[in-house]
Chain A
Amino acid sequence: MRRILKAVLTAIWFMALTLPVMGIKLNTLDQTVQWRFDRILWLGAGVFALAVIWDWCFSRKARGLPLLRLPKGWGAGLRNLSGRPHLKTGGLAILTLFMLVMPLTSSFYQTNIMISALLYVMLALGLNIVVGLAGQLVLGYVAFYAVGAYAYGLLYQFLGWGFWACLPVGGILAVLFGLALGFPVLRLRGDYLAIVTLGFGEIVRLALQNWTSLTGGPRGISDIPRPGFFGLEMDINASTTYVYYLVLAAVVITIIMISRLKNSRVGLALQALREDEIACEAMGIDITRVKLSAFALGSCWAGFAGVIFAAKTTYINPSSFTFMESAMILSMVVLGGMGSIAGVVIAAMILILAPEYLRAFSEYRMLIFGAIMVIMMIFRPQGLISGERRRYRISALHGAHNGGRA
């Protein structure tokens, strides 16, 4: 009963709070006011329901219970399923087949959506190295993406270079930018680092926008060629399919590289850095090198993704590289689970594909992104799938318990 009362009070509070912005519609031309109390009432009802759920979630969290409990037997069943290796390979095979056949069976439009979803997967995985593994909150990630895209655009425009020549150049340039940002910010940590990288991202965007003689200013660069395939002539459909396979290959390579990286010496050093910078330094890890390699690795993927993006859209301008873009990529990493590859891939897919297919809520996309970031931080900071570290079993210890069959 107390909960209900509390929820009612919360609902009333929010109705009063949102009264001006939600409830008043001004018509400045003919000087009339339109009161929209229906909206306020709906909002009140919504807040009431949310407040009840919110309170319930908190009481579960306070008692240390999981938010959702699977029905009896399901938990064990799921664990059983995930334990079976051929089920996993079978699932992967189906997924691979689907991804391979997808552009051949679906429309041009859907292939295009899938390409941009895959590009975001690549970006999110790249940011995951910096934020998820190394724990360095970078808010200007989109700057490196812009560097890659403009590298291709400008090299084509002024020197006539093709896609394949620009792909490595875009990556290298992005790495150089990453290092240029990384060096000065070595001493910074946490929120200061976040703000400096945000400023860096905005400076790159503003420079692209104002340096009209080089970058074309707000008009951007158009007529960038799609990637070639040994000089083969392709129409727009064929070349979209081609770009699709290109991105798919890039994503697969990214996933392989990052999962190899994660348990490598560098990867473990990155994770040590995330857990505790001072302890990490005390263990004899060269912090400067580790931080710089995190920046270099992260920005490299953004550079590649940028080149592919320019080739896909054939038109780039500074408004594709705003802070909102960085925030969106960050929310993919946060939602997926920092440091978890599978989680980030799934989150990126959901966040890009869901608004495309559910047109009704595509308007609310950014609103929901923002809410997700807050809610995830409060109730599940580890994300959908928490990034598990590899566990090392020491067989001598285990041997004592189960007779050496570790």
Chain B
Amino acid sequence: MDIQFFIELFFGGLTRGSIYALIALGYTLVYGIIELINFAHGEIYMLGAFTALLVAGVLGVYGFPVGGILIVAALAAVIWCAAYGYTLEKVAYKPLRGAPRLSPLISAIGMSIFLQNYVLLAQTSDFVPFPRLLPEMEFLEYVNYVMGPSDFLILLVSTLAMVSLSLFIRYTRMGKAMRATAQNRKMALLLGINADRIISLTFIIGSGLAALGGVLIASHMGQVNFGIGFLAGLKAFTAAVLGGIGSIPGAMVGGLVLGLAESFTTGYFSGNYEDILAFGILILILIFRPDGILGKAKVQKV
């Protein structure tokens, strides 16, 4: 076995997996608190990529220094997507609290279709090239067969984001309130936690992370299209389920496992079956171990 090829695939999988993990966190956070599969989450990721693209374009035209463009564009994407996530929850999910469980899911599917077509109509149906904004990183030279600057950036940023999220959830007051709401919403309400605010916060954080994922992947792949959110969203959802939906470390593990699995099948077998693999894993996990790798089994109550 060619060890160099193996390492190449391993790092490729790691890069891809950390993007999945970033998006999967949004699914898991929302599911943990309101038990809803936020079907439109993939679209938020796509909006993030688009917003960054547009802002970077504007900054580029008006002669902003190249080094800062990516940072400003990423910030703008995170802010706008957080706002999109917040609005999404207020418009499509909040009125449906307490409705039968299928209602918010159908509403979420509707929102996903709506957002895709919103971008399609407002912008374009073609693939749009994403500007190259990454600085050259000289210290990567001796590993450049496994890692380009964008891979390095993806690993760095996603690790930072995940660590800070974990710390936030673990130690801050807001994080504790989030965990309490996830455990038992009624009890949290009785203890004076404003559940509506916590739910909004969850959507804001999840959408922000998805936007970050969108910016990173767009600068990695070099192009953006209105339809990229659907597949990415489904795969990230697979990752969330794989790790155990509702569990934050689970989403990270699930993302990495899925990314590695995809990378190795593409490398050693064929690229044609990469998407089938993800869906196959999703179905098998849901059927045989719906609680995932790190999830806890739930008892169905009447």
Contact = CB atoms under 8 A, between A and B. Distances in A.
Contacts of B103: 377, 381
B63 to A, nearest CB: 11
B40 to A, nearest CB: 9
Given A199-B282, A206-B276, A378 B107 contact: yes
Given A21-B122, A381-B99, 9 more contacts: A17-B83, A24-B58, A26-B58, A39-B122, A199-B282, A203-B283, A334-B106, A377-B103, A381-B100
Nearest to A374: B110
Contacts of B58: 24, 26, 33
Given A192-B290, A330-B109, A370-B114, A20 B280 contact: no
Contacts of A26: 53-54, 57-58, 128
6 contacts: A17-B84, A33-B58, A188-B286, A188-B287, A195-B286, A370-B116
Contacts of B109: 139, 327, 330, 370, 373
Interface in B44-98: 47, 50-51, 53-55, 57-58, 60-62, 76, 80, 83-84, 87, 91-92, 95-96
Interface string A273-297: 0000010000000000000000000
A188 B290 contact: yes
A377 B114 CA distance: 14
B287 A184 contact: yes
Interface of A: 13-14, 16-18, 20-22, 24-26, 28, 31-33, 39, 58, 135, 137, 139, 184-185, 187-188, 190-192, 194-196, 198-200, 202-203, 206-207, 210, 278, 323-324, 327, 330-331, 334, 363-364, 366-367, 369-374, 377-378, 381
A363 B121 contact: yes
B84 A203 contact: no
Given A21-B118, A31-B61, A188-B287, A374 B91 contact: yes
Interface string B95-139: 110011111111101111111111101110000110000000000
Interface string B283-298: 1001100100000000
Contacts of B168: none
Interface size class on chain B is 35 or more
Contacts of B53: 26
B112 A370 contact: yes
Most B CB contacts (10 A, CB to CB) among A17, A199, A323 go to A199
B230 interface: yes
B225 to A, nearest CB: 14
A21 B283 contact: no
A203 B275 CA distance: 8
Given A33-B57, A33-B58, A373 B113 contact: yes
B36 to A, nearest CB: 8
Contact of B237 (A18, A20, A195, A373): A195
